[in-house]
Amino acid sequence: MKQDADDLSHVRTSQLSCHSARTTLRTFKYRIYPSRKQIIRLDYQFLLCREMYNTLLRRCRKEYRTSGTSFNRKAELCRIIKGIKDEDSRFNAVFSQSLQNVADRLAKAYQHFFRRVKERKVGKRVKAGYPRAKKRVTSITYPQFGFRFKSEDRLQASKIGSIPIVLHRVPRGRIKTLTIKRNRAGQWFACFACEVNEAEGTPADGEVGIDVGIEHFATLSDGTVIENPRHLLKSEKRLKRLQRRMSRKKKGSRNRRKAVRRLARHHVHVADQRREFLHRTSRALVDRYGLVAVEKLNESNMLKNHCLAKHIQDASWDTFIGMLRYKAVAAGAELVEVDPRNTSQMCNQCGNIVLKALSVRVHRCPHCGFEAHRDVNVALNILARARVGQTRSHACGDLASTPVTEAGASGVIESGTIRGRPHARVATAGRPGL
């Protein structure tokens, strides 16, 4: 039976309305503290899941070589799993649906492989990426049941036992899956994927364009500057020292394992600092502004600049925009992604192109005399393009624009929706006429 957040008698959670078809999946992550015996069981289950994945992959390859077809569907893989369990009793130590999730992971890997092959045929420059054998598995998933909250600080999981959990907030909605994972620092987490019905928020009245950068993390069109915390650079000296200490240790020794764990913990600390900063900043923006405009950046291409790649990754612009995107859903705000071409060269006042190098930090227009910081001019141009993208309407009179969907297709959507879900819109706007 599927577990519901209401199983906890000490909390109240919002229930899904049976009349509402628009829901979204949210992940709630909690720290857990398994005992030594439970860690041994989890490590053994990870080992068996890895072995099962690699066995299924070998069967698929062998079948393709012999008959030209492959067992790449989940139902076919699950039948193979049943036969393997009958032959080898070791796999009974893993919950049955967790093994079925291994088949689901491999089936999805094949689906993505076939999708990329089709994209290559139409001219896209992507790697096909045939599924490879796994060296390690660091998580197991309970897709439907096999887990429950035993109390407010205990999580009961099949084949593992009662695990202490820090339930710092209650998972909302209906819990669909549970994933138990371990990071490289040896920390354990329980991640609940919940189907929630987002409450419609009242959007703020303000509008803002945001220019992300390295000198300043973000510059707003109203002149506000959000400084770049540079978490990686501040911790770089200690990270280098820990890296040197680890490299001196003998490979395979206990001291080296300790040094690896110590280095991994500090990397996790830096990542947690960055994530907290991005969460706080994105939440403040969507609560303050009803329209948030950003550039549609291709960060993978920017990372080819080896002089700036480290700083771009430390800023995590893609993660920041992704947080703005899903938080706009609950806040009732609009997120508009605009074409970034010439936003730094075009004058916001007269629309003329004023060429300047990246090192020039002040925009001075020789045509109209407008002078402002380079990033402020860019933010103003972003906001102007977002407004131009809003001027088109569809037959019902609502504002419409061209969204970017997960599949890459574009189409007209209603105002106040995002990929079929209510309360926000993610749109792209073209360049305004010069």
- 157, 19 contact by CB (below 8 A): no
Q: Long-range CB contacts (< 8 A, 24+ apart) of 82-90?
A: 84/52, 84/55, 90/48
Helix (H) or strand (E) holding 271: helix 254-288
**What number of CA atoms fall less than 13 Å from residue 398's CA on the CB side?**
10
Structure tokens at 249: 């240790």
DSSP 117: H
Q: Give the Å distances, CA to CA, from 260 to 181, 253, 265, 266, 281.
A: 19, 11, 9, 10, 32
Whether 211 is a known active-site residue: answer yes
- CA distance linking residue 384 with residue 404, whole number of Å: 20
- CA distance linking residue 424 with residue 32, whole number of Å: 34
- CA distance linking residue 229 with residue 251, whole number of Å: 35
- 332, 202 contact by CB (below 8 A): yes
Catalytic-labelled residue, pool 198, 295, 314, 337: 295
- Per this entry, what is the length of the chain? 434
Helix (H) or strand (E) holding 164: strand 161-164
Catalytic-labelled residue, pool 198, 314, 334, 375: 375
- CA distance linking residue 264 with residue 180, whole number of Å: 19
Whether 337 is a known active-site residue: answer no
Nearest to 151 by CA among 159, 160, 141, 162: 162
Structure tokens at 278: 């991005």
- 363, 373 contact by CB (below 8 A): yes
- 192, 175 contact by CB (below 8 A): yes
- CA distance linking residue 425 with residue 329, whole number of Å: 8
- CA distance linking residue 99 with residue 47, whole number of Å: 12
One-letter amino acid of 429: A
Whether 375 is a known active-site residue: answer yes
Catalytic-labelled residue, pool 211, 314, 334, 337: 211
- CA distance linking residue 46 with residue 38, whole number of Å: 12
Structure tokens at 269: 């600390």
- CA distance linking residue 319 with residue 325, whole number of Å: 10
Structure tokens at 403: 């969204």
Q: Which residues are catalytic?
A: 211, 295, 375
